[in-house]
Structure 1
Amino acid sequence: MKISAVEAIPFAIPYTKALHFASGEVHSAEHVLVRVTTDDGVVGVAEAPPRPFTYGETQAGIVAIIETIFAPQIEGLTLLEREKAHSRLGRTVGNPTAKAAIDMAIWDALGKTLELPVSELLGGFTDRMRVSHMLGFDEPAAMVAEAEKMVDTYGIRTFKVKVGRRPFQLDTAGVRALRERFGDSIELYVDGNRGWTASESLKAMREMADLDLLFAEELNPADDVLGRRWLVEQLDLPMIADESVPTAADVTREILAGSATAVSIKTARTGFTTSRRIHHLAEGLGVEVVIGNQIDGQIGTACAVAFGSAYELTSRRAGELSNFLDMSDDLLTHPLQISGGQLVTSSAPGLGIEIDETRLHHYRLDNK
């Protein structure tokens, strides 16, 4: 059960369309496949999606930090020494998705070794989650058309709408068009990716006050300390902290400071080990939780649903588990399937996924 090798393999898969939001845009999934191999020949996998405009990580940076710093620290540990691995990775500042991918690959390898699904090792509350789909910047008619496709094809009825443009009416018009088209048959919430000021956020939310939104997420910057507290006081719906809470300590700060009232857990950012800490903290504080998405591919989505389904708190709300539908291809031998608005976890050991080596060879960027 000792870790004998940690690999970081860069790959790129184009999106069928560019994804646009307040903090940037993405045209292809330029991610990193992380593989942890044990001396028994077991291989655990996970996916690191760099988001330089959010966390400062790049694809090349993730590969470099894993190969030069993290791999030497982790190799030689057993799969059961996850807290020791967490401590060693924590010596280095930043690099959240690189650390998260290593952590989840270790859990995948452990599940395969014990012949148990990761979702059961984590908690095993349920075997499925409702799915929320993200709608990026677009014209109202195009957003409605995409939502209609998601409803008709996959049964998805929860939508996260990206906002944060100026003037804010560009975005509120789209949210209103969705509500008018579907009525109360769908759930809606908005995500500003820190694009507005506090005063702009309040004006936009008042304009959407009659649309029965579930949440508002990161409408204004995390360093707008007084503005965030003021905004939370003005709103009558939960404010989700996302990019502002990459650690459990950040969650504590934002919630106790009154700057947020709910939390987004992204396994791509906090792995399974730190995500458990955040979940337990949120549970103890009585804070609502949403399973977020780092624009993950199917590997990352398998990780997210494994964690989200493991606990009652995280499985109450629809999880953001559908962004892989915007990718032109993926790396799995058996693709994930969304049906009836739900994604079911695998009952196979580990994460229950298998890498298609032919696809990996085609999309990898290191020519190995």
Structure 2
Amino acid sequence: MKIIRIEAIPFAIPYRKPLRFASGEVDTAQHVLVRVHTDDGIAGVAEAPPRPFTYGETQDGVLAAVRQIFADQLTGLELTDRETMRARMERTVGNPAAKSALDMAVWDALGKTLNLPVSELLGGYTDRMRVSHMLGFDEPSVMVDEAQRMRDEHGITTFKVKVGRRPHTLDTAVVRALRENLGDEVELYVDGNRGWSASESARALDEMRDLGLTLAEELCPADDVLGRRWLVDRCDIPFVADESAVTPAEVTREVLGGSATAVSIKVARTGFTGSLRVHHLCEGLGLETVMGNQIDGQLGSMCTVVFGSAFRLTSQRAGELSNFLDMADDLLTEPLRISGGELTIRPGSGLGVEIDEDKLTHYRLDA
């Protein structure tokens, strides 16, 4: 079970339409496929989706971190040496997507070696999650049409609505149109990506008070410390910390400081090992959690459902698992299917997925 080689392969797959939100826009999945090879002939895989507008990583940066720093640090370790791996990678500041992909690829390799699904190694609570679909900035009619299509074609009835535009009425009008056209049977919640001030957020929430929102995520920056605490104190639905609460220490700071009442867990930035720590802390503090999305491809989405389904707490809410539907193609031999509003884990060892080598050859950027 010893690691003998690590690969980092850049690839690019276009989206059929860009996803736009307050902190940026994504029109191409410029990701990195990470492979961890062992002396038993096993290869574990994971996907690193760089998000420069949130965490400062780029595709080139992920490649450099994996190839020039982390590969040497991890090669020669056993797959079970995860705490040693974590300690060595943490000596390098930042690079969350690179570290997380390496961690998840190690878990995939371990599952394949032991002939066990990663979901069972983690916790094995259930084999599926309900799906939440993210709706990016657009005109109300366009966003309503997309939501209706997702409900009709995939059975999705939970929608995360990107907000944070100025004036805020652009977004409150969208949410109202969604509620009026989709009815009360769908769940709606909002994510501001830090686009509003605390006072703008408060006005927007007041205007949407009758729309039955279930969550509000990162409406204003956490660095606006007093304003954020004031907003969370008057918010009558769970206020989700996302990019402001990545590590257990940050979760503790934001929650005990009154700046959040729920937490988004994203395996794309904390891997499985770091996400376990965040999950256990949230469980101990009695916090609600949401399994978030870093605009992952199908491999990243499978990693999310594998982790989210493993625990009772993380499987209670719909996970953000569907944005791969907007990609023009993907790398898996067997594409993911959302049915009845749910995404299930795959049978088999590890993550239960395989990479289509022909597609990887077609989309890779370093061939």
Q: TM-score range by the shorter chain?
A: over 0.9
How far off its partner does 1:284 sit?
A: 0.1
CA distance in 2, matches of 1:6, 1:168: 46
How far off its partner does 1:184 sit?
A: 1.1
What's the counterpart of residue 243 of structure 1?
243
What's the counterpart of residue 359 of structure 1?
359
How far off its partner does 1:8 sit?
A: 0.7
What's the counterpart of residue 322 of structure 2?
322
CA distance in 2, matches of 1:222, 1:94: 18
Q: Runs ≥4 in structure 1, deviation > 4 angstroms?
A: none
How far off its partner does 1:182 sit?
A: 1.5
1:236-275 equivalences in 2 (<5 Å): 236-275=236-275
Give 5+ residue unaligned stretches, structure 2: none
Amino acid of the structure 2 residue aligned with 1:260 = A
Deviations 1:233-264 (A, max 9, x none): 11100000001012111001000000000000
1:293-308 equivalences in 2 (<5 Å): 293-308=293-308
Amino acid of the structure 1 residue aligned with 2:116 = L
CA distance in 2, matches of 1:207, 1:5: 55
1:146-295 equivalences in 2 (<5 Å): 146-295=146-295
What's the counterpart of residue 136 of structure 1?
136
SS at match of 2:55: coil
Amino acid of the structure 1 residue aligned with 2:320 = E
Q: Percent identity?
A: 71
Deviations 1:246-283 (A, max 9, x none): 21110010000000000000000100000000000000
SS at match of 1:343: strand
CA distance in 1, matches of 2:222, 2:78: 38
1:78-117 equivalences in 2 (<5 Å): 78-117=78-117
CA distance in 1, matches of 2:194, 2:47: 25
Deviations 1:15-67 (A, max 9, x none): 00011000000110000000000011100000000000000000000000100
TM-score, structure 2 normalization: 1.00
CA distance in 2, matches of 1:5, 1:226: 48
What's the counterpart of residue 63 of structure 1?
63
CA distance in 1, matches of 2:310, 2:277: 14
Amino acid of the structure 1 residue aligned with 2:321 = L
Amino acid of the structure 2 residue aligned with 1:164 = G
Amino acid of the structure 1 residue aligned with 2:210 = D
Give 5+ residue unaligned stretches, structure 1: none
CA distance in 2, matches of 1:184, 1:4: 54
Matched, 1:310 2:306: no
SS at match of 1:339: coil
**Aligned-residue CA RMSD in angstroms?**
0.5
What's the counterpart of residue 122 of structure 1?
122
Amino acid of the structure 1 residue aligned with 2:253 = R
How far off its partner does 1:347 sit?
A: 1.7
CA distance in 1, matches of 2:365, 2:225: 41
What's the counterpart of residue 53 of structure 2?
53
